[in-house]
Structure 1
């Protein structure tokens, strides 16, 4: 979040280093608050109010930042201090963000088979010197929403906690998950611990309503699907 600037201050009253545009150039867009980002899009305030005040009014009107993506021209111009020119600037930025987000969705890797999952993970995991337990979080179309390393170290049932995996799955609104880990020995044959962990995760997923689709073991440019092997 950015530096909190009192809304009643005019931009000219704010130290130059604390102004949104200057902070963006110096620290990057990610360092700014929602209010400051909108202020940059609006560019100017009115004779009696700062651009930060206008930005704050927009945020208060829509309550949650994601509600802006459904904003109409009529809604935005109904906000005090916002004319058509500023509303059009906001709508253009919102539409650009929507298109970028859609491109990310369209470009998401889709997993249709164990081979797809292995191909997605193997380049990174096949040469690791330690065991890495990784989870892929998928949407209803089996597209990868997120990949996360859950832990690093030897796999056993006491280390892999279903709550950690499924907490992240709920957070990501995942419909299903695929778990994977590597065997530094290069041999992908599942151990009794691998099978035990898989069953515990499968049972936990069944209770929560988020399916464990597969557990992939990656060796030296080879893999084994525990689902294909009948362990699930």
Structure 2
């Protein structure tokens, strides 16, 4: 019997469940079914995924398999095997990069630029991130908080400092991009930064830099004495 995804009730299809309930609601089998896209004449992608995970001993063993081993599994041809290997390798690289960032000690504005410049490539809107640091200036986590034209009404201090409290952060570095490539801070950039610095001083969570990233370089409020001034030269 040819069991196809479209033969499954819409509410139970992995892709529909992802759209309706979010990616976190999906089981390992459902996520794998979306990656595989299609099943075989005998089984849907979801059933094939269940059989695959059962045969290899669970999702933790998938990264141990190579192309030859994957294609020996019934229903997994070369195209599906290549797709699986690509997804597995990409997830490894993401995990490695996240681990590197989270262990990173921020020692300069240039270091911020080097580590974060790639996330702004080909972005046509402004994106505002906050890097949350511990007492030793090591990255706890970074968060994308806002998209769009940045101003004081869009970037609300409540969201910036709420995350800091949740992460027990001691200080914050703000980053955003200028899609135009112009690195000069706008009046809105300066007003927003001044407001965040002021509130941070009241709350005891310091804004130690605001880095603007463009196509050819960066602008640091700290390096240009727009944060802290002469009395704050040893923050980074």
Q: Deviation of residue 215 (structure 1)?
A: 0.2
User: Cα RMSD (Å) of the superposition?
Assistant: 1.9
Q: Deviation of residue 121 (structure 1)?
A: 1.0
Residue 192 of structure 1 pairs with residue 214 of structure 2: no
Query: What is the TM-score when the length of structure 2 is the normalising length?
Result: 0.53
* 8 A Cα contact 1:133 1:180, kept in partner: yes
Question: Where does structure 1 differ by over 6 angstroms across 4 or more consecutive aligned residues?
Answer: none
Instruction: Structure 1: give runs of 5+ residues left out of the alignment.
Output: 1-25, 29-103
Partner of 1:144: 139
SS in 2 for 1:123: helix
* 8 A Cα contact 2:102 2:140, kept in partner: no
* 8 A Cα contact 1:129 1:184, kept in partner: yes
Residue 165 of structure 1 pairs with residue 160 of structure 2: yes
CA–CA separation in structure 1 for the residues paired with 2:126 and 2:146: 9
CA–CA separation in structure 2 for the residues paired with 1:195 and 1:106: 27
Q: Deviation of residue 116 (structure 1)?
A: 0.9
CA–CA separation in structure 2 for the residues paired with 1:27 and 1:230: 50
Partner of 1:52: none
CA–CA separation in structure 2 for the residues paired with 1:136 and 1:167: 13
* 8 A Cα contact 2:102 2:139, kept in partner: no
Q: Deviation of residue 107 (structure 1)?
A: 6.3
168, 173, 178: which is aligned to 1:178? 173
Choose 1 or 2 for highest CA Rg.
1
* 8 A Cα contact 1:127 1:220, kept in partner: no
Q: Deviation of residue 221 (structure 1)?
A: 3.1
Q: Deviation of residue 167 (structure 1)?
A: 0.5
Counterpart mapping for 1:217-228 below 5 A: 217-228=212-223
Query: What is the TM-score when the length of structure 1 is the normalising length?
Result: 0.54
Q: Deviation of residue 27 (structure 1)?
A: 3.9
CA–CA separation in structure 1 for the residues paired with 2:112 and 2:100: 18
Instruction: Structure 2: give runs of 5+ residues left out of the alignment.
Output: 1-25, 29-98, 228-236
SS in 2 for 1:147: strand
Counterpart mapping for 1:196-215 below 5 A: 196-215=191-210
Partner of 1:124: 119
CA–CA separation in structure 1 for the residues paired with 2:126 and 2:27: 37
CA–CA separation in structure 1 for the residues paired with 2:101 and 2:157: 30
Q: Deviation of residue 159 (structure 1)?
A: 1.2
Call closer, same or farther: CA 1:198–1:109 in 2, change over 3 Å: same
Q: Deviation of residue 127 (structure 1)?
A: 3.1
* 8 A Cα contact 2:102 2:141, kept in partner: no
Call closer, same or farther: CA 1:190–1:126 in 2, change over 3 Å: farther
